Amino acid sequence: MTITARCPCGREYRFPESAIGRQARCRKCGAVFTVLGNAEPPPIPLEPAPSQRGCRRTQEAYAWLEEFAQAENDAPRATRTAPPVATGSDRYRHPVATGGDRYGRPVATGGDRYRRQVATGGDCYEATAAMGDSSAPRRGRRGRTPGNSFDDEPTDFAVRDPAGKRFMRDLLGSFALMLEPGNLVTLLIIAFLHIWMGLMGYGLLLGFIGRVILGGYLCAYYLSVITETAGGEDDLPSMRVTSLLDDILIPLFQMLGTALLAMSPALVVWIGSLIYGQEVSSTTYKTLIITGVFFWPAIVLIVAIASSIRGLWPHTVIRTALAAPLAYLLLWVFLLIPRGAEWVIERNLPALTGNVRAAIGFSIASALWSAVTYTLAMRAIGLYYRHFKHRFPWAAE
């Protein structure tokens, strides 16, 4: 579920519900503001409050208490004696261990109730900033102190249920989330936009403009899936266009920029071969392209969380990908599924040109498949941040 927050300059931003109370930075004016929840008017009472019914009965039932209090107040101070209470026990005569809770369980001094030491100046539940429009990677190396931990789970629970298991559990649970009514409606709308974008390819100038607008909207949607999933939301985002530049063009350029950065090693080698007149083997190009595709999820994750490319340093991207190698490999497999489906579609679609009904049905099915698989892939990237952000060399501010 998303909420809307307004900057003092008038710019509106969408945040996940978990971002209420956090600080966000406006991309338009640079001001820092607090994300507040959508205020709802209190319901109109249709009947008297419960405290107004049976007032006479309540007064009669507790009249003895007033008499006792009055008699106690009128009694001489010397005659007032407090009931004996054993030292080290509560009023129910339950022994309470020194330094423990009311049930006698020992509590570690200087730590929280999970036996985890709390660093001075911040606890282990320090939250990141509201994502999507305000957070940016922080320069410098983040310390591994407990006060700098961004894991939402206590340490002893993380030992019993590691982050990898939680990541796998949420990743497999994504399939069931896609079947919820609200998420299913969103997927149908995205599938329709995929079909419409394919039809725009048959136009000339207007078709190109339409493809740019639809492509930017889809890029904004997929980036929002990453940010809201990373923030703890499980519902798919509901997109609303308020600005052509901020909601369409900037997400489009960000997504295209991630692809360009992933392919930059191969492009540099190709340009160098043209300048110096030396041929480069196809194996070298393929190796560089595969390497760029492998690190693309880490690149798009940093861009989605930071809403910019300022933190895209090679060592940052590599260490982000290697923070959880097995989970990152599984994430990469989720990205290969839609790409493999597109390759199959491109191979088989020309064979269906003679059968109009089969071609239309195949196009609709492929659009729905692309919407579901790309959404699952972007959600996997967001889950990677949600469960392994405490291992990254950067932090969202």
- Which tens digit of pLDDT belongs to each residue from 208-253? 898 999 999 999 999 999 999 998 888 898 877 888 888 899 999 9
Task: Tell me the pTM.
Answer: 0.59
Per the domain annotation, does 111 fall within a domain?
A: no
Per the domain annotation, does 363 fall within a domain?
A: yes
Per the domain annotation, does 359 fall within a domain?
A: yes
CA distances to 28, 83, 185, 255 from 238, rounded to whole Å, are 22, 62, 10, 19
Nearest to 238 by CA among 185, 174, 170, 180: 185
Dihedral of CA atoms 297, 240, 245, 339 in degrees, nearest 10, equals 30
Do 132 and 14 contact (CB within 8 A), yes or no?
A: yes
Give yes or no: residues 187 and 320 share one domain: yes
SS3 content of the chain, % helix, strand, coil (to 5): 60, 5, 35
Q: How many domains does the chain have?
A: 2
Per the domain annotation, does 76 fall within a domain?
A: no
pLDDT on residue 382:
93
Provide the residue range defining the domain that includes 9.
1-35
Burial 165-181 (b: 16+ CB within 10 A, else e): ebbbebbeebeebbeee
Give yes or no: residues 346 and 212 share one domain: yes
* Residues in Cβ contact with 214 at an 8 Å cutoff, skipping those fewer than 6 apart: 193, 196, 197, 200
* pLDDT-flagged residues of the chain (< 70): 1, 37-161, 338, 341-342, 345-355, 396-397
What contacts 24+ positions apart, CB below 8 Å, involve 173-179?
174/376, 174/379, 174/380, 174/383, 175/376, 177/234, 177/235, 178/372, 178/375, 178/376
Q: Residue 138 burial (CB < 10 Å; 0-12/13-18/19+)? A: middle
Q: How many CA atoms lie within 13 A of 146 on its CB side?
A: 15
Per the domain annotation, does 309 fall within a domain?
A: yes
pLDDT on residue 164:
75
pLDDT on residue 302:
92
pLDDT on residue 6:
81
- The whole-angstrom distance between residue 176's C-alpha and the CA centroid of its chain comes to 18
Per the domain annotation, does 303 fall within a domain?
A: yes
pLDDT on residue 320:
92
Per the domain annotation, does 54 fall within a domain?
A: no
pLDDT on residue 128:
37
Per the domain annotation, does 328 fall within a domain?
A: yes
How many whole angstroms separate alpha carbon 235 and alpha carbon 178?
9
